[in-house]
Amino acid sequence: MIIGNKEFDLDNKGYIMGILNVTPDSFSDGGKWNDVNKALEHAKEMVNMGATIIDVGGESTRPGYTKISDEEEIERVVPVIKAIKDNLCVAVSIDTYKSEVARAALNVGADMVNDIWGLKYDKNMAAVVSEYGVPVCIMHNRDNENYNSFMDDVIADLKESIKIAKEANIKDENIMIDPGVGFAKSLEQNLEITNKLERLGELGYPILLATSRKSMIGLTLNVDKNERVEGTVATTVIGAMKGASIFRVHDVLENKRALDMTMAIKRS
């Protein structure tokens, strides 16, 4: 897969996507990076620690989040994306489910779209992704937890999103999928889907895993959001063993080292 000007070998290698929330209210780091200079410095730190993609988000999607307007989200993300692209050689992802935000981000150099609603929230999103010819991460999500057969239903939901992508002429080589840990799932279901990631591999697309500091870890280990590094690292290692190739994390260095060790063992 080509993301920006870099070729990613998603069949044989693992990559770190560093989280950069330019929001006042994200669950883990809200308010830390919502100044352009601070955001750029943090992006530099993450690149130096081994991140090959920076995922910029302008609206918190934590449970119970407050939705903001397209205009406000654009005002938050565009200057940060522009600063990163002007100063760093790194792929940039825009974390949004709104097509106008995606368009504004792509216009200033974003290299891919990360959509937590799997192209289902905004009917124009797939068309925008197709128009710009960029990769898209299709995450599993739904507005309820009414599953009949959990893993089968998740795969069916993802197939619906993939169908939307293909109908918009998004190329197969530009699609990756995310199991949506923490979205419309109980603790038990989050653990199950992390344990059964290889089932998602049956769809034939690269897998992005985003578990960093999430409630699954907090509830399992009974620790708050600032003490979830080890739990996140464990999910990265298991994810890599089960076929995921991109890992969206806050703590880049720890996860990069664990990922590199895991991939070395896999390659042996």
pLDDT tens-digit map of 190-228: 999 999 999 999 999 999 999 999 999 999 999 999 999
Buried b (16+ CB within 10 A) or exposed e, 231-263: bbbbbbbbbbebbbbbbbbbbbbbbbebbeebb
123, burial (CB in 10 Å: exposed 0-12, middle 13-18, buried 19+): exposed
Model confidence at 91: pLDDT above 80: yes
The pLDDT value recorded for residue 32 is 61
The pLDDT value recorded for residue 67 is 85
Model confidence at 30: pLDDT above 80: no
- Would you place residue 51 in the very low, low, confident or very high pLDDT band (cuts 50, 70, 90)? very high
Q: Which of 85, 98, 103, 214 is catalytic?
A: 214
The pLDDT value recorded for residue 35 is 87
d(CA 168, CA 162): 10
Model confidence at 149: pLDDT above 60: yes
pLDDT tens-digit map of 151-196: 999 999 999 999 999 999 999 999 999 999 999 999 999 999 999 9
Bridge partner residues of 244 (DSSP): none
The question of whether 248 is a catalytic residue gets the answer yes
Bridge partner residues of 37 (DSSP): none
pLDDT tens-digit map of 112-121: 999 999 999 9
pLDDT tens-digit map of 94-110: 999 999 999 999 999 99
Mean pLDDT, the chain, integer = 95
The question of whether 267 is a catalytic residue gets the answer no
Strands 6-7, 2-3: pairing kind: antiparallel
